[in-house]
Amino acid sequence: MGVGTGTGFKVEVRVEAQAEPEISAYTRSMEAQKTPASDHALYNRRARKKPTNLSVNSDLLKKAHDLGIDLSATLEEALAVEVGMRQRELWLEENREAIQAYNEHVAQHGVFSTGRRGF
């Protein structure tokens, strides 16, 4: 509760906490099954690990070691990001004509719900 004074009169403000809405057991179970976007199958995370030789800047390698950075996990995650970006770019290039045709169609004719939406 807060109290303030303005031009000679007293103003009292009450803030009441709102209760969280009741979540059903079904909703809770469905939420628990959701997969984060970052976990979608870009690659098989259960595939066996393969030893690989790399050349890395010695100073950077020392600093990473001093900080306790897991090189394998860090490289794997960085490669997953890079592979995902390259696959996206490739998909967009392969589908550029279809995307352009769709956008032109929408520009000329609108989307299926044009005129029926209430917003």
Q: Judge whether 63 lies within some domain.
A: no
**Residue 32 three-state SS:** helix
Place 24 in a pLDDT band, splitting at 50, 70 and 90.
confident
Q: What is the pLDDT of residues 48-92, one digit of tens each?
A: 999 999 999 999 999 999 999 999 999 999 999 999 999 999 999
* Residue 101 domain boundaries: 78-110
Pairing between β-strand 10-13 and β-strand 2-5 as defined by DSSP bridges: antiparallel
Contacts of residue 14, defined as CB under 8 A and 6 or more positions apart, other chains included, come to 1
The residue length of the chain stands at 119
Q: Judge whether 22 lies within some domain.
A: no
More confident residue, 118 or 81: 81
Query: Would you state the pLDDT for residue 33?
Result: 62
How many domains does the chain fold into? 1
Q: Judge whether 87 lies within some domain.
A: yes
- pLDDT averaged over every residue in the chain: 80
pTM of the model as a whole: 0.56
Q: Judge whether 94 lies within some domain.
A: yes
Quote the crossing angle between the two packed helices 71-94 and 58-66, to the nearest 10°. Answer: 120
Q: Judge whether 64 lies within some domain.
A: no
